[in-house]
Amino acid sequence: MEKINAAITGIAGYVPDYVLTNDELSRMVDTSDEWIMTRIGIKERRILKGDAKGTSDMGAEAVKSLLEKTETSPDEIDLLICTTVTPDMQFPATANIISDKVGIKNAFSFDLNAGCSGFLFGMSTASKFVQSGKYKKVVLVGADKMSSIVDYEDRSVSPIFGDGSGAVLFEPTTEDVGIIDEILHVDGAGRKHLHQKAGGSLKPPTHETIDAREHYIYQEGQPVFKAAVKGMADVSVEMMEKHNLTSDSLTWLVPHQANLRIITATAHRMNLPPEKVMINIEKYGNTTDGTLPLLLWEWEKKLKKGNHLIFSTFGAGFTWGAIYLKWAYNS
Ligand code: UT7
């Protein structure tokens, strides 16, 4: 039997309309456009406004456009996986809510949380279902309403994050395209540097946890920064070496968008020129599970069948890794 590969056959993205600029943020906390641009490389980020709007609303927008674009009926979908750190609710899964909102009824669906590596781990997971031969159309949607857990009184965290989502369709192919290899890592000891203190079973919400602002992101920037540079660069270089990819033969680096300095350090270690690195952090910030699909969404027209892509991420957990994928279509 021929080997089944899992290929990305469509991509769509969604970002909310509201633009939170560095200038507006500078009126909320003690920061400046100059500091944010120099240290992080973000000019603006999108924010989902409106009561009763959550992560599933952005995820559903991305999935709806994906289905339209790929002329796929919701009934044809076998599985939908949502990667998120900001689910609508603790339960049920945001994936279930998205499936309901877009009319996917013949599929099962579940959430996956791997911090900022969620979409990468989701690519690995989605591909296994496709490679099994049993599932023909699998939707992977990464969506986060980071503004729901960002403390807009904390200047060390508030400039970084934004809201957004993106979705891809995975389908089987026997051609030499799709996911070729993956290297995924976790080190749970890193959790002390990046987590949300309250709201889970360890520390359920109380008046005290709210007063202590423990439902927001807690991040120690420098240890996370150091681990991110090392983790993303090491694993990306390892993937290049394993597959004899060079700075000439590799077409694109698709890196998680957390800090421009982390991205450039990774690209530098890979010896890649800037024109081979997808970057849109300046306009969206770190959308957590949205970064990788939002890059593909923006770059889709430039991607050609057979292009060699390395995806690379680092996030809370710690989680990190790289995926090597050959692009499957010309748009
Ligand atoms: O995707 C999830 C994983 N997360 C990440 O990858 C984030 C990794 N970390 C980072 O990107 C960076 O560490 C930050 C962007 C969070 C911080 O940048 P940094 O260059 O590491 O700054 P720092 O924390 O060392 O702070 C340097 C100075 C401090 O002032 P002093 O002590 O030198 O007087 C901070 O108080 O910058 C100050 N500072 C700010 N100043 C103006 C911190 N935040 C701000 C700010 N505006 N927003």
Residue 1 pLDDT greater than 80, yes or no: no
Residue 265 pLDDT greater than 80, yes or no: yes
CA-proximal residue: ligand 1, atom 44 (nearest): 156
To the nearest 10°, the Cα dihedral for 311, 5, 305, 68? -90
Residue 217 pLDDT greater than 80, yes or no: yes
Give the up-direction half-sphere exposure of residue 210: CA atoms within 13 A in the CB hemisphere. 3
* pTM beyond 0.85: yes
Residue 106 pLDDT greater than 80, yes or no: yes
Residue 331 pLDDT greater than 90, yes or no: no
What is residue 2's predicted lDDT score, i.e. its pLDDT? 85
Neighbours of 52 (CB within 10 A): 5
CA-proximal residue: ligand 1, atom 21 (nearest): 222
pLDDT band at 50 (very low <50, low <70, confident <90, very high): confident
Residue 243 pLDDT greater than 90, yes or no: yes
Give tens-digit pLDDT for 274-288: 999 999 999 999 999
Residue 51 pLDDT greater than 90, yes or no: no
Distance 81 CA to ligand 1 centre (A): 33
Distance 80 CA to ligand 1 centre (A): 36
CA-proximal residue: ligand 1, atom 39 (nearest): 156
| Residues designated as active site | 116, 256, 286
Q: CA 68, CA 298: separation in Å to the nearest integer?
A: 17
How far is CA 213 from its chain centroid?
26
Distance 120 CA to ligand 1 centre (A): 25
Distance 221 CA to ligand 1 centre (A): 6
Give the up-direction half-sphere exposure of residue 64: CA atoms within 13 A in the CB hemisphere. 12
What is residue 300's predicted lDDT score, i.e. its pLDDT? 98
Fold held by 180-326: Peroxisomal Thiolase; Chain A, domain 1 (3.40.47)
Three-class DSSP category at 9: strand
Once rounded to an integer, what is the mean pLDDT over residues 1-27?
Answer: 96
Type of residue found at 175: E
Type of residue found at 126: A
Are the folds of 5-179 and 180-326 the same? yes
What is residue 70's predicted lDDT score, i.e. its pLDDT? 98
Residue 186 pLDDT greater than 80, yes or no: yes
**Residues near 138 by Cβ (< 8 Å), separated by ≥ 6?**
6, 77, 78, 79, 80, 81, 126, 129, 130, 169, 170, 171
Neighbours of 136 (CB within 10 A): 14
Once rounded to an integer, what is the mean pLDDT over residues 18-41?
Answer: 97
Q: Which helix (H) or strand (E) holds 260?
A: helix 260-269
Q: Residue holding tokens 């920061």?
A: 31
Ranges of each domain in the chain: 5-179, 180-326
Residue 4 DSSP label: P
Q: CA 241, CA 258: separation in Å to the nearest integer?
A: 25
Distance 159 CA to ligand 1 centre (A): 10
Give tens-digit pLDDT for 303-326: 999 999 999 999 999 999 999 999
Per cent of the chain over pLDDT 90 is: 98
Ligand 1 atom index nearest CA of 157 = 16
Ligand 1 atom index nearest CA of 40 = 15
What is residue 146's predicted lDDT score, i.e. its pLDDT? 98
Type of residue found at 324: Y
Burial 147-181 (b: 16+ CB within 10 A, else e): bbbbbeeebebbbbbbbbbbbbbbbbbeeebbbbe
Q: Residue holding tokens 């593909």?
A: 296
Fold held by 5-179: Peroxisomal Thiolase; Chain A, domain 1 (3.40.47)
Ligand 1 pocket, residue 223 CB under 6 Å: no
pLDDT band at 15 (very low <50, low <70, confident <90, very high): very high
Average pLDDT, the chain: 97
Give tens-digit pLDDT for 221-232: 999 999 999 999
Ligand 1 atom index nearest CA of 256 = 1
Give tens-digit pLDDT for 155-181: 999 999 999 999 999 999 999 999 999
Ligand 1 pocket, residue 230 CB under 6 Å: no
How many angstroms separate the Cα of 14 from the Cα of each of 9, 143, 154, 285? 18, 9, 27, 14
From 37, 150, 156, 160, the mutation candidate for ligand 1 (largest count of ligand atoms within 8 A of CB) is 156
